[in-house]
């Protein structure tokens, strides 16, 4: 039989602070190095050329244009998933702030976790 843990909070404000922090803690983010590389590649793609894209095209044995197309498609997909993730985060935090009980806050948090899984799951798995 599974054991359920019960978290007790001093008051409703403490519960809200806990669940708001939990939402922020589980929100995924790219490392600074990955984020910087994405931005550099995007800037080069917008310019139509650059050393990073040239090196990638050479490493992959493909044309510069195919790398630019790939970066552009990846940027579009990233923006769409980030928009969905941010909407889910905002929705979860609003539900937590408006909740009357810690149980409602916990439900908002677990719904947020499920929304993240849906956003970041592979399309083939949906």
91 located within any domain: yes
> DSSP per residue over 100-124, as a string?
SSHHHHHHHHHHHHHHHHHHHS-GG
89 located within any domain: yes
pLDDT in tens, the chain (126 residues): 555 455 688 899 999 999 999 999 998 888 899 999 999 999 999 999 999 999 999 999 999 999 999 999 999 999 998 898 899 999 999 999 999 999 999 999 999 999 888 766 655 443
18 located within any domain: yes
50 located within any domain: yes
User: What one-character DSSP code corresponds to residue 3?
Assistant: P
84 located within any domain: yes
Q: Domain total for the chain? A: 1
- Could you list the residue range(s) of the whole structural domain that residue 108 is in? 12-22+31-120
């Amino acid at each position: 039989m599974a054991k359920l843990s019960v978290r007790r909070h001093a008051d409703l404000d403490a519960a809200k602070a806990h669940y708001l922090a939990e939402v922020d803690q589980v929100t995924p983010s790219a490392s600074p190095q990955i984020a910087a590389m994405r931005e550099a590649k995007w800037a080069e793609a917008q310019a139509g050329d650059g050393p990073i894209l040239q090196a990638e095209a050479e490493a992959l044995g493909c044309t510069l244009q195919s790398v630019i197309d790939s970066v552009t498609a990846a940027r579009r997909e990233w923006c769409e998933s980030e928009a969905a993730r941010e909407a889910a985060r905002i929705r979860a935090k609003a539900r937590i702030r408006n909740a009357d009980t810690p149980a409602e806050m916990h439900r908002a948090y677990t719904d947020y976790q499920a929304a993240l899984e849906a956003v970041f799951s592979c399309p083939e798995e949906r």
